[in-house]
Structure 1
Amino acid sequence: MIAEIIFTGTELLLGQILNTNAQYMQQELSAMGIDLYYQVTVGDNLQRCAAAIRQASKRADLIIICGGLGPTEDDISREALAEALQLQLVQDPFALTVVTRFFKERGVPVSNNNYKQALVPQGGIAVDNPVGTAPGIILEKEGKIYILVPGPPPEFAKMVREKIIPYLLGKMTERSGLIMSRVLKFCGIGEASMDEKLSDLLKSCNPTVAPTAKFAEVHLRITAKAKGPEQAQKMIDDMEAKVRERLGSYIYGTDTETLPSVVISLISQKKMTLSVIEDFTGGQLAYQLSSAKGSDGVFKSGLVVTDLKAVELLKRCNWGSLPADLKQRAEYLATAVREKFESDIGVAVTILKDRGQGQAQTSHKFVMAADVNGVTMSREMLLWGDRDDAAQRATTVTLMLIWRYLEHGIKF
């Protein structure tokens, strides 16, 4: 199946808002094995939007129109679809229920212009929207599938996830059998390097293998089409085995697993405990570890400081003065926090202060250190970007280094 996505809204063309819906939709289509060849953005103009729909219908089987289902005059997606396909707009009883329900639940009268949202091109099916007033629309005509979904991200994501994806999976099962997928999660390797090492596998048609760059991670989705679950499962297993043979040391988990949860699981399996001290990441490391399933009894404590001199106030720890050298300081703190909280593992995250450049600083000298039952190691890195971006990346890098040591014995 070939898809084309049309995003409507002059605000998108003007760059006034970030189109996060695009990435979400792209990833979901890829996960289902649906090819996306074109993506179009068009302003709030009826004729241009209708022309974009007609053009898409000539080169795609599935046309998804995002946005333009609101109650105002510049919301023209349903009108554009009717215009493109030469269909009448009719009031749909279920769509009217969706629109009026939103107002009734809040005890406010329905605005006259909201009734426009209950209109559906003749032959279309209204799709429920439990968090907004704009029903979605599904219309099949002459072998093509047209889908309209609302633009606000919370409404868009919920409708796509709960209504549109199940509908499309049903259609694809009718056409080509069962579709299954698995996501392999990588850390410590970039997308370009992965592409180079897996270039032949990425050209596979069934199962398809598609990488997606995440923040400081790369995810690889394997999707198989088959007549039954056993066949699809075997296809995925065989492809995963090939990927692991080449890059297994970078794979930390699959599907819903996260890096913090895998780290906590490893520490738990080894019957160990962990404490951290953070100067720079602002508690992000402690939050991610403490939020992971199974962290109770594993993650013992986290200290967050904005000025390392504050550490010296903890005289009862008998830690003494902090070393001036950045790496020595980080190692010292990792040992100190391990000993203070009687943990098996102590981790410290710190940076060289920015000398007054503050939030606008473009690079940060970052050091992560760990003390694992007296074995001390550290890693110095240069992180680029503003402070918030660098702090998030430092958190992920720290978790990655801990995972690689615990899983593969790779020191840093």
Structure 2
Amino acid sequence: MIAEIIFTGTELLLGQILNTNAQFLQQELSALGVDLYYQVTVGDNLGRCTSAIKQASGRADLVIIGGGLGPTEDDISREALAEALGVELVEHPDALAVVRRFFDLRGIPVSQNNLKQALVPRGGKVLDNPIGTAPGIILEKEGKIYILVPGPPSEFIKMVRERVIPYLREKLGGSTGVIKSRVLKFCGIGEALLDERLSDLLKSNNPTLAPTAKFFEVNLRITAKARDDAEADEMIVAMEEKVRDRLGSFIFGVDDETLPGVVNRLLRETGKTIATMEDFTGGRLASSLSSADGADKTFIIGLVIKDLYRLHEKVNLGWAGELPGGISERAEHLAAALRKRYNCDIGVSVTAERDSSSDIPATNYKFYYAADFNGNKMSKEVLLWGEGENLAQRAAVYALVLLWRYLKHGIPF
């Protein structure tokens, strides 16, 4: 079965509301083995919503419409469905009962506007909504299935779980399957090189592989469609083994694992503690390490300062001693002084200066990363680009990459 989802609401297009319903419904459909090829968001406009439904009906067996079932003039999903299918809206006794129950239980009169929610495209089946005034609707016409679900997340999730999914499972009968995914997370390798190393595997139809790049990280999603969970897991494991054979040394985590969480786990496993000193990054490295699981056993302290060398005397860093002249030597010196001052196993310092050789010096910085691992000093110079918070975040993530590479594979800074 091929599905398409349409979400209505101008507030979604304006970015005023985060569409959490989308992710939930995607996961539920995948678990049923339903293929989702398109997801559309359309504003509160009758003509555009009608057009979206017509378009969806031409390329999907199942069309689910979320939102637009309220009592106001801009709630137009039921009207759009009726117009798209050429059927009339009629008052449905079951829908009227849902609307009246909500008000009767609260001892307040039914608003005239709310009576609009009792209208259903002729031939439609009403889905109960025990926590709201908007009934859901299922309509089967010419071999297609159309489902309308109210937009508020609490109502949407409850109706999908308790009404929509059981209905779809019954319709699918023995043809139901599952779609499962696993995400492998890489660092230290770019998307282009990953694509090159896995070019033949990326052509696989089932399971499929899909890479996505982010800050110094590439995610590779493996998705399998199978008869049941066991078969899907077996397919994913087999593909994952092929990927790990080629690029396993770059994989730091799976699914919900994060780089700060993995670094903290490696620190715990080796019994190491860490302290950080940051210039320019605004404490983002310390924040990510200190908030990860298990940080109470690994993270000692994070010092954050702006323009460390200019303010050295003002902030009383006398314990660091006299700073060397070269910036990379200074970074190593501070990492070592930090480790000794706070009696930990690892001291890490991050600092930066503008790259004067660049044509756009305001957006290019040389970052200096240094670490002292129980007396083993190392440092690295890296040119990064960007502005403001974006650049600071990139710099902090790169520090995590360096830490992971050393803790996991012994690769020095």
Paired residue for 2:81? 81
Any gaps of 5 or more consecutive residues in structure 2? none
Q: More displaced, 61-70 or 218-227? A: 61-70
Aligned residues: 401
Structure 2 letter corresponding to 1:202: L
| Residue identity matched to 1:382 | L
CA contact (8 A) 1:66 1:151 kept: yes
The structural deviation recorded for 1:371 is 1.6
Change over 3 Å in CA distance of 1:74–1:307 after alignment to 2: same
The answer to whether 1:291 aligns with 2:294 is no
In the alignment, what sits opposite 1:347? 348
Matched position secondary structure for 1:352: strand
- Corresponding position of 2:15: 17
Q: Is contact 1:280–1:351 with CA below 8 Å preserved after alignment? A: yes
TM-score (norm 2): 0.79
Using the TM superposition, give the Cα deviation of residue 146 of structure 1 relative to its aligned residue in structure 2, in angstroms: 3.3
Provide the rounded CA distance (Å) in 2 between the counterparts of 1:369 and 1:156: 52
Which position in structure 1 is the counterpart of 2:385? 384
Q: Is the 8 A contact 2:96 2:117 kept in 1?
A: no
The code of the aligned residue for 2:241 comes to A
The residue identity in structure 2 corresponding to 1:280 is: F
- Matching residue's letter, 2:49: C
SS in 1 for 2:408: helix
Structure 1 position 65, deviation (Å): 3.4
C-alpha root-mean-square deviation of aligned residues, in Å?
4.1
- Asked whether 1:59 is paired with 2:62, we answer no
> Equivalent residue for 2:331?
330
Which residue matches 1:306? 306
Structure exhibiting the larger radius of gyration computed from Cα positions? 2
CA distance in 2, matches of 1:193, 1:94: 60
Equivalent residue for 2:207? Answer: 207
The amino acid of 2:243's aligned partner reads V
Q: 1:118 to 1:35 in 2, by over 3 A?
A: same
Aligned-partner Cα distance in 1 for 2:399–2:261: 14
Give a deviation string over 1:273-297, Cα, whole Å, max 9, x none: 1111122222222222122111112
Task: Name the structure 2 match of 1:191.
Answer: 191
Instruction: Tell me which amino acid in the other structure corresponds to 1:399.
Output: L
- Alpha carbons of structure 1 residues 285 and 30: separation in structure 2 relative to 1, 3 Å: farther
1:394 maps to 395
Instruction: Give deviations 1:305-340, integer Å, cap 9, x for gaps.
Output: 224144545647521244454333322222222121
CA distance in 1, matches of 2:60, 2:363: 43
Contact 2:4 2:38 in 1 (8 A): yes
Distance 1:187 1:316, change over 3 A: closer
Partner of 1:258: 258
Distance 1:156 1:354 in 2: 54
**More displaced 10-residue stretch of structure 1: 210-219 or 133-142:** 133-142
SS in 2 for 1:275: strand
Secondary structure at the aligned position of 2:366 is classed as strand
Pair 1:404-2:405 in alignment: yes
What secondary structure does 1:296 align onto? helix
> Aligned partners of 1:98 and 1:313: how far apart in 2?
69
**323-332 or 44-53, which moves further after superposition?**
323-332
Alpha-carbon separation, structure 2, partners of 1:399 and 1:111: 57
Question: Aligned equivalents of 2:64 and 2:6: distance in 1?
Answer: 6
Report what 1:365 is aligned to.
Answer: 366
Pairs within 5 Å for 1:100-115: 113=113
1:58 Cα shift? 1.4
Matches within 5 A, 1:21-40: 21=19, 24=23, 28=27, 35-40=35-40
Give the CA deviation at 1:263: 0.5
Structure 2 matches for 1:121-200, cutoff 5 A? 121=121, 123-124=124-125, 126=127, 139-148=139-148, 170=169, 174-200=174-200
The one-letter amino acid paired with 2:206 is N
Closer, same or farther in 2 for the Cα pair 1:272/1:88, shift >3 Å?
same
Bigger shift: residues 332-341 or 261-270: 332-341
Name the CA distance, whole Å, in 1 between partners of 2:56 and 2:136: 19
Contact 2:370–2:378 (8 Å) recurs in 1: yes
- Using a 3 Å threshold, how does the CA distance of structure 1 residues 325 and 141 change in structure 2: closer, same or farther? farther
Does residue 234 of structure 2 align to residue 234 of structure 1? yes
One-letter code of the match for 1:378? S
- Output the CA distance in 1 between the equivalents of 2:111 and 2:369: 57
- Partner SS for 1:331: helix
C-alpha distance in 1 between matches for 2:120 and 2:368: 58
**SS of match in other structure, 1:303:** strand
Letter in 1 for 2:207: P
The amino acid that maps onto 2:266 is L
What is the identity percentage for the equivalent residue pairs of Structure 1 and Structure 2?
A: 57
Cα distance, 1:272 vs structure 2: 0.8
Q: Give the counterpart letter for 2:60 in structure 1.
A: A
Q: Structure 1's 311 and 157: CA in aligned 2 closer, same or farther, altered over 3 A?
A: farther
Question: For residue 17 of structure 1, what is the amino acid of its counterpart?
Answer: G
Cα distance per residue 1:30-77 (max 9 Å; x no partner)? 966755544545443313321221221111123343554454322322
CA distance in 2, matches of 1:366, 1:129: 57
Q: Deviations over 1:170-204 (max 9, x none)?
A: 57785242443322112223333323322322232
Return the alpha-carbon distance in structure 2 between the equivalents of residues 193 and 26 of structure 1: 34
Taking structure 1 as reference, are residues 393 and 183 closer, same or farther at Cα in structure 2, changes over 3 Å only? same
Query: In 2 relative to 1, CA 245–68 (structure 1 residues): closer, same or farther, beyond 3 Å?
Result: same
**Deviation, structure 1 residue 120:** 5.0
SS of 2:296 mapped into structure 1: coil
Q: What letter is aligned with 2:15? A: I
